[in-house]
């Protein structure tokens, strides 16, 4: 990597761009390769990657020419994605150097997502990286950046509880069901009604492939339609009392005013089921299940308020965990920058030897000019002797520097070594930066 190489990120995200703009800039996975090729027709970027999700469209690049690169990405958005430059100007952001590293770590670790801790983003980043990498758009700068981002994301998942607890009503319902039954392959679920609230929870539960799906609706034809859609069985709404004993999980969502399932029905069902536990999820308002049902042993009832409260508590928990995750990101950014400084310092020996050789040859030349009568043999002898002295003097420091580097030197020690030998101090310069490192909007 040369010193002039700079990491650049140009993009838009959910933080300041509404969905109508985001969807216009969105690039589907199947079009990513084509878009990468088009992007390169604007200006040949040394390395580039496009990350496109429903929350963000970002171009990561490593280039020697910052201005041209930013302008190429801007033009790409305007022309290929067909968006007005005036509109784009309001939303587009540009990050450079260290900020790109920090941003990517946060994105991969799901700290920058709309729902903090959501698990999909890491897969999306990996996918974008795979497509760019397979098609030679990734060089050593983006390779080391993204490899470290995947490692940091893993670390965040391992060291914090950021993605462990669900934050949507349907995923909370599924989570609770899994804490009662663990798996669903031998379980029967009964859906009563098909209110709007139930739709997402229904699909989440069905995605777990329960053994049997029963659907009850006040309109039998509607139940039949849903049953055929989800490969289930329609049951008679009027005879719900006879059906609930078969179900392990019951989700109710009707507009019926009053309780359609009460304690006596559940007690009877439990007797028939020989006390096998049942989970009731009542997502209807007004409620469809008598709250007293929860008093019965081996029966678990959650209404929509319970589910929403758990979801919001979990969200607060994720926000608290994100503080710890952010400090991991900060530490990892510093560690990444340090590793780059050390990497750049691998040629420190060559510099020291070159400097020593410069001094030696100068001094030998000056000394010999005072003794023009010396013959070739003596001159060669002096030359050899001075080389040997230099070699011996530099031997111990060279071994020590090698050891320091191998032990994992930080920027401080590299800086100190350079100072000791009077070398030009490039270690104080942050890698991936060519000049100023402020984020800016396109102007």
- Catalytically active residues are 54
Among the listed ranges 138-146, 235-243, 270-278, 345-353, the one in contact with another protein (CB under 8 A) is 270-278
Is 48 in a helix, a strand, or coil? Answer: strand
Q: Is 292 in the site for another protein (CB under 8 A)?
A: no
Which residues does residue 213 pair with via DSSP β-bridges, in sequence order?
A: 189
Using CB under 8 A as the binding rule, whether residue 180 contacts another protein is answered as yes
Residue 162 and residue 331 in contact, taking contact as beta carbons nearer than 8 Å: no
Q: Among residues 274 and 392, whose Cβ is nearest to another protein?
A: 274
**CA–CA separation, 425 and 58 (whole Å):** 34
Question: Which phi and psi (to 5°) does residue 230 adopt?
Answer: -105, 15
289 vs 409, which CB is nearer to another protein? Answer: 289
Q: How many helices (H) and strands (E) does the chain have?
A: 16, 11
Single out the residue of 33, 133, 277, 421 in contact with another protein (rule: CB under 8 A).
277
Decide: is 300 part of the binding site for another protein (CB under 8 A): yes
Nearer to another protein, 164 or 257 (CB): 164
Name the nearest CA neighbour of 72 among 100, 51, 42: 42
Answer for which of 174, 310, 328, 433 binds another protein (CB under 8 A) is 310
| Omega before 284 within 30 of 0, i.e. cis | no
| Residue 306 near another protein by CB under 8 A | yes
179 binds another protein (CB under 8 A): yes
**CA–CA separation, 138 vs 442, rounded Å?**
25
H or E, element range at 139: none
334 sits near another protein (criterion: CB under 8 A): no
Which stretch in 7-15, 74-82, 108-116, 290-298 sits in contact with another protein by CB under 8 A?
Answer: 290-298
125 contacts another protein (rule: CB under 8 A)? no
From the CB of 192, what's the least distance to another protein, in Å? Answer: 20
Task: Choose among 255, 216, 214: nearest CA to 236.
Answer: 216
Q: Is residue 280 near another protein by the rule CB under 8 A?
A: no
Sheet holding 440-441, edge to edge: 47-52, 56-63, 6-13, 93-96, 440-441
- The answer to whether residue 140 forms part of the interface with another protein (CB under 8 A) is no
Instruction: Report how far residue 169's alpha carbon sits from residue 184's, in angstroms, rounded to the nearest whole number.
Output: 19
185 binds another protein (CB under 8 A): no
Measured distance CA(251)–CA(173) in Å, rounded: 10
Site for another protein, residues 43 to 82, rule: CB under 8 A: none
Distance between CA 329 and CA 98 in Å, rounded? 12
For another protein, which stretch binds (CB under 8 A), given 72-80, 250-258, 307-315, 396-404? 307-315
Backbone angles phi, psi at 58, to 5 degrees: -135, 140
Report yes or no: 319 and 116 within 8 Å, Cβ to Cβ: yes
Determine if 165 is a binding residue for another protein (CB under 8 A).
yes
| Single residue of 7, 27, 216, 301 touching another protein by CB under 8 A | 301
Stretch that binds another protein, among 91-99, 121-129, 298-306, 368-376 (CB under 8 A): 298-306
The owner of tokens 């780059």 is 340
In the list 239, 298, 327, 435, the residue contacting another protein (rule: CB under 8 A) is: 298
Name the minimum Å distance from CB 308 to another protein.
12
Q: Which chain residues interact with another protein by CB under 8 A?
A: 164-165, 176, 178-182, 274-277, 294, 297-298, 300-302, 306, 309-310, 313
């Amino acid at each position: 990597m040369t010193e002039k190489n700079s990491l650049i990120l140009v993009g838009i995200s959910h933080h300041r761009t509404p969905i109508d703009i985001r969807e216009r800039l969105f690039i589907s996975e199947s079009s990513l390769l084509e878009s990468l090729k088009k992007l390169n027709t604007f200006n040949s970027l040394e390395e580039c990657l496009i990350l496109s999700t429903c929350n963000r469209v970002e171009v990561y690049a490593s280039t020697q020419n910052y201005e041209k690169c930013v302008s190429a990405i801007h033009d790409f958005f305007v022309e290929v994605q067909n968006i007005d430059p005036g509109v784009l100007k309001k939303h587009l952001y540009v990050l450079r150097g260290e900020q790109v590293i920090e941003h990517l770590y946060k994105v991969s670790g799901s700290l920058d997502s709309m729902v903090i801790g959501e698990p999909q983003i890491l897969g999306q980043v990996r996918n974008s990286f795979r497509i760019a990498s397979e098609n030679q758009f990734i060089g050593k700068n983006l390779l080391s950046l993204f490899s470290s981002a995947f490692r940091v994301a893993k670390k965040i998942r391992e060291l914090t509880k950021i993605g462990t607890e669900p934050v949507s009503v349907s995923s909370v319902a599924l989570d609770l069901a899994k804490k009662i039954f663990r798996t669903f392959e031998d379980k029967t679920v009964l859906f009563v009604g098909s209110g709007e609230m139930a739709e997402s929870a229904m699909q989440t539960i069905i995605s777990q492939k329960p053994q049997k799906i029963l659907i009850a609706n006040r309109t039998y034809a509607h139940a039949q339609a849903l049953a055929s859609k989800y490969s289930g069985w329609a049951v008679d709404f009027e005879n719900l009392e006879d059906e609930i004993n078969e179900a392990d999980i019951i989700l109710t969502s009707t507009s019926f005013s009053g309780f359609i399932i009460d304690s006596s029905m559940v007690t009877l069902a439990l007797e028939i089921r020989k006390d096998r536990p049942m989970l009731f999820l009542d997502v209807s308002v007004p409620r469809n299940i008598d709250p007293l049902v929860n008093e019965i042993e081996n029966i678990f009832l959650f209404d929509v308020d319970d589910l929403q409260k758990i979801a919001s508590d979990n969200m607060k928990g994720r926000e608290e965990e994100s503080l710890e995750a952010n400090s991991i990101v900060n530490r990892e950014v510093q560690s990444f920058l340090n590793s780059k400084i050390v990497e750049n310092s691998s040629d420190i020996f060559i510099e020291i030897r070159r400097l020593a050789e410069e001094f030696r040859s100068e001094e030998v030349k000056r000394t010999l000019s005072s003794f023009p009568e010396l013959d070739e043999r003596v001159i060669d002898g002096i030359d050899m002797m001075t080389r040997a002295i230099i070699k011996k003097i530099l031997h111990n420091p060279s071994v020590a520097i090698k050891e320091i580097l191998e032990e994992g030197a930080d920027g401080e020690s590299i800086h100190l070594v350079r100072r000791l030998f009077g070398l030009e101090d490039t270690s104080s310069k942050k890698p991936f930066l060519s000049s100023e490192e402020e984020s800016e909007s396109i102007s």
